[in-house]
Amino acid sequence: MAITRHTSTIRRFLAGSSRPVWLAAVAALSLAASMGISACVNVAGYTQPSLVRVIDASYVAPAINVLVAGNLIAGNLGQGAITNYATVPANPNALISIAAATGGTTPLVTTHGTLLAGHQHSILIADNGAAANGYLVTILEDQQVQAAGGHSAFRFLNQAPRTGSVDIYLLPTGITLANATPVVSDLAAGAMTGYLSFTSQTVTLVITPTGLITPKYSSTAFSLIGGEARTVLIYDTQLSSNPPVTVTTWVDAGPSN
């Protein structure tokens, strides 16, 4: 009702005014109204949620369900899976439970982690190598803003224990492996990089054992337009002595092309 009265007052005041002045007044009123509505939405005590996804890099775990504070956020996951983000309440000590998707409700492993308000996180599930049922759960903080203009940012997770440490190349068109320098050298199994920024262009992702130029993985060429922030999971396809590696790439922020 207050807005209606103000509108009537403006109409009387501008009865003899030109059209541009009238439009400017209406625009100002609309802005004021929108600001008033916005102020009503910001409820005192409101806390932004946390966005959480799951990266399953375990070789020995069965298909799994992942629960955060008792709520299922991902179900029936297998090795190499990266889920979309789920929205959960922020929590400085959130209970994270990993259970088999079938065959019982007893958790395979539980842990606690900090899930920050307004942040994006990944729950990384890997093997600790100590036992057949030993799992390692790590909470990662993901980049939530796109990379700088003309640049792309990639983070690499090496979860390929049979392959071991690797060199990672992003080969521009026309550049061969023999005369290229890796963007990441000697990334150990179980290790990860931070987000690495590089000039956006058409590239081919190639992964080799450290110091060698025989690829364990080579992608088709793909184009980067700038702004991409991505996570790249590297994992063995099997537990044989010399398996090839597989790569799963997921968008953290920016364009998805």
| Unique residue bearing structure tokens 């009265």 | 5
pLDDT mean over 152-157: 98
Q: Is the pLDDT confidence value at 172 over 60?
A: yes
> Do 155 and 110 share a domain, yes or no?
no
What is residue 45's predicted lDDT score, i.e. its pLDDT?
66
CA 108 to chain centre: 25
Give residue 22's pLDDT band: very low, low, confident or very high (50, 70, 90).
very low
Instruction: Domain of residue 77: give its range.
Output: 47-142
Q: Is the pLDDT confidence value at 154 over 90?
A: yes
> Do 155 and 257 share a domain, yes or no?
yes
Domain membership of residue 1 (yes or no) is: no
> Do 166 and 115 share a domain, yes or no?
no
Give residue 89's pLDDT band: very low, low, confident or very high (50, 70, 90).
very high
> Do 234 and 245 share a domain, yes or no?
yes
**95: domain CATH number?**
2.60.40.2890
Domain membership of residue 117 (yes or no) is: yes
**Global pTM exceeds 0.85:** no
> Do 137 and 164 share a domain, yes or no?
no
Instruction: Report how far residue 70's alpha carbon sits from residue 211's, in angstroms, rounded to the nearest whole number.
Output: 45
pLDDT mean over 113-118: 96
> Do 134 and 154 share a domain, yes or no?
no
- Paired tokens of 93: 């000590």
> Do 67 and 129 share a domain, yes or no?
yes
Instruction: Report how far residue 82's alpha carbon sits from residue 235's, in angstroms, rounded to the nearest whole number.
Output: 13
**221: domain CATH number?**
2.60.40
> Do 219 and 114 share a domain, yes or no?
no
Q: Is the pLDDT confidence value at 2 over 70?
A: no
Q: Out of 127, 142, 157, pick the residue that ends a domain.
A: 142
- Paired tokens of 126: 């890997």
> Do 205 and 160 share a domain, yes or no?
yes
Domain membership of residue 244 (yes or no) is: yes
Return left, alpha or beta for 227; rule: phi > 0 is left, psi -120 to 50 is alpha, else beta.
left
Domain membership of residue 109 (yes or no) is: yes
What is residue 19's predicted lDDT score, i.e. its pLDDT?
38
Split into its structural domains, the chain has a count of 2
Q: Out of 112, 142, 172, pick the residue that ends a domain.
A: 142
What separation in angstroms does the CA of 108 have from each of 67, 74, 104, 137?
12, 15, 10, 11
Instruction: Report how far residue 101's alpha carbon sits from residue 51's, in angstroms, rounded to the nearest whole number.
Output: 22
Nearest Cα neighbor of 234 from 182, 190, 198 is: 190
| Unique residue bearing structure tokens 């080969």 | 171
Q: Out of 97, 122, 142, pick the residue that ends a domain.
A: 142
Task: Find the range with the poorest average confidence among 9-13, 37-41, 145-149, 251-255.
Answer: 9-13
Q: Is the pLDDT confidence value at 187 over 60?
A: yes
Domain membership of residue 168 (yes or no) is: yes
Give residue 144's pLDDT band: very low, low, confident or very high (50, 70, 90).
very high
Domain membership of residue 16 (yes or no) is: no
> Do 114 and 137 share a domain, yes or no?
yes
